[in-house]
Structure 1
């Protein structure tokens, strides 16, 4: 089902960075909780979280670049929502990667 103004497409483009952040946040904290159990090695969980974080930061950076070069007028609400959401997602993903710093405490 589509509309003339592409509502669902615009909605997705405006919220995609925040959905990416939420998926990264959920994965990191769920994985960190499961990986920090006795007898589990430290290197594999750290490498997995580092890889996922690098991929998420790359995807958020790409979304920010797409928003910056977007087809919308520069001061339109859609342009500001896409760019602001992408910048917020970049910061939130970097902050959400904090479990990488505590994996030294896992035994």
Structure 2
């Protein structure tokens, strides 16, 4: 006997719309954090070296880049963890993963992958701080 599906209520529609819009934002969060990290590290280093001088204060510059990197990695990790929870829901709804038309899970998968790419990008942006001898 086939089950009839009831039309969604307004509350269910609002919840679904909220989840979908959050999923779309979740895709963008990690690359935005990566871009902000890039901007803060390189612009901050340029301003610091122009103000302080070419040979002074590189230890502070390295610590600043390290702190920004740890903050960025923590934020990207949090976004990636939330996206992973969206992509791999609890066992009772695991059968929904096999439906390619399920956008919600696809968006979670995309956000996880973008978070991984952003982690690699943040690490590469921070690598020059290891080799800074002077600002010259």
Tell me the TM-score normalized by structure 1: 0.81
**Greater helix percent: which structure?**
2
Count, aligned residues: 105
Larger Rg, first or second structure (1 or 2): 2
- Identify the residue that residue 131 of structure 2 maps to in structure 1: 102
- Residue among 58, 61, 75 paired with 2:77: 61
- Identify the residue that residue 46 of structure 1 maps to in structure 2: 62
- Identify the residue that residue 101 of structure 2 maps to in structure 1: none
RMSD: 2.3
Do 1:49 and 1:100's aligned partners in 2 also have CA atoms closer than 8 Å?
yes
Deviation at 1:66, TM superposition (A): 1.5
Equivalent residue of 1:104, what SS? coil
Tell me the TM-score normalized by structure 2: 0.66
- Identify the residue that residue 120 of structure 2 maps to in structure 1: 91
Matched, 1:81 2:110: yes
Do 2:23 and 2:108's aligned partners in 1 also have CA atoms closer than 8 Å?
no
Deviation at 1:8, TM superposition (A): 3.5
List alignment gaps of at least 5 residues for structure 2: 1-12, 90-95, 99-104
- Identify the residue that residue 13 of structure 1 maps to in structure 2: 26
Equivalent residue of 1:96, what SS? helix
